[in-house]
Amino acid sequence: MIHILIVEDEDVIRTGLVYTIDWLSMGAVIVGSAASGREGLEKIFELHPDMVITDIKMPGMNGLEMIKNAQEQGISFIPVLLTSYSDFDYAKQAINLHAFDYILKPVDDTKLKDVVDRAKKQIERDRKFQHFQQADTQNSTDGMVVLKTVSENPYVNSCLKCIEKEYTEHPSIEQLAADMNVSSSYLSRLFKKSTSMTFLDFLNRYRIQKAVDLLSTQKYRVYEVASMTGFSDYKRFYEVFRSYTGITPTDFVKTGCCIVKR
């Protein structure tokens, strides 16, 4: 699973990227979002994401300046640029900063999936190379070579599968830990380390993502979507939706917050 940071100054586009895309199905998780280059730089230092998807033109520090600043500080990540046709004057600068790819607005989900898939392969190659280096170092000191395979923790995988299948119910880290015969505190630490979120935070984010999908169809009333996504209390759904997306579910329906082409 790769960790992705979204940096976009337009609220509608940023919210759309975070919540209208099924990142989990791509083997990715959004660990944070930022509304400016300066905030994005702070999040890069704090979260150390594997990939940063950023707009180019933003007030103050733009996306290219943010990438350059982070790289100069030795932070390694895959930079992917959100761009419009008018922004291609920045292409040369982006090449110098080793931009991985461009994604044109509005975002094409097929293109996005392709970029994420290729980024995952690149990240896996980089991690394996690091393991080889570590193994080579150990070999030179004690004559032993130990190469760890790059794989997901099975406990964390079980938690993610549970969320995907049972998000409409009330899955808990305590019950999952009991089923796996491990302590809930141990499983919580593993989950937080892998996803940069608590189990409940990830569950709520996933529920809101599904709610966004349902609301976008305009087939259901808000209270129906609340129930369909595991919120038995409408008020709680309203509060959680607003806390994660920055707008109310009613306003979302009015604005049609979706920037992905399918």
Distance CA 21, CA 213 (A): 9
Determine the 3-state secondary structure of 232 from DSSP: coil
> pLDDT value at position 143?
37
CA torsion sign for 55, 56, 60, 64 is positive
CA torsion sign for 129, 135, 136, 138 is positive
> pLDDT value at position 141?
41
CATH class, domain 2-117, is alpha beta
Q: Which single residue is written with the structure tokens 């305009």?
A: 218
Fold of 152-254: Arc Repressor Mutant, subunit A (1.10.10)
Beta pairing class for 51-55 and 78-83: parallel
Between 193 and 255, residue with greater pLDDT: 193
Q: What is the pLDDT of residues 81-133, one digit of tens each?
A: 988 766 666 655 666 667 888 888 888 888 999 999 999 998 888 877 666 55
> pLDDT value at position 260?
57
| Contact yes or no for 3/127 (Cβ under 8 A) | no
Distance CA 140, CA 143 (A): 6
> pLDDT value at position 57?
87
Q: CATH 3.40.50.2300: which residues of the chain?
A: 2-117
> pLDDT value at position 128?
72
Task: Share the mean pLDDT of the chain.
Answer: 85
Terminal C-alpha separation, the chain: 23
Residue of 209, 200, 146 whose CA lies nearest to 19 = 209
Residue 214 structure tokens: 């349902």
User: Is the confidence at residue 192, as pLDDT, over 70?
Assistant: yes
Distance CA 13, CA 108 (A): 13
Q: What is the pLDDT of residues 34-65, one digit of tens each?
A: 999 999 999 999 999 999 999 988 989 999 89
What's phi and psi for 167, nearest 5 deg? -65, -20
Q: Kindly indicate the confidence band of residue 183, based on its pLDDT and cuts at 50, 70 and 90.
A: very high
Distance CA 32, CA 43 (A): 7
Distance CA 2, CA 25 (A): 12
Residue 169 structure tokens: 């119910």
CA-based R_g, the chain, Å? 20
> pLDDT value at position 259?
54
* Partners of residue 33 on adjacent β-strands: 6
> pLDDT value at position 1?
83
Residue 203 structure tokens: 């569950």
Q: What is the pLDDT of residues 133-170, one digit of tens each?
A: 555 445 444 433 333 333 468 899 999 999 999 999 98
Q: CATH 1.10.10.60: which residues of the chain?
A: 152-254
Cα maximum dimension of the chain: 66
Q: What is the pLDDT of residues 227-243, one digit of tens each?
A: 999 998 899 999 999 99
> pLDDT value at position 152?
64
What's phi and psi for 149, nearest 5 deg? -80, 150
Please list, in sequence order, all residues whose beta carbon lies within 8 angstroms of the beta carbon of residue 193, skipping any fewer than 6 positions away.
none
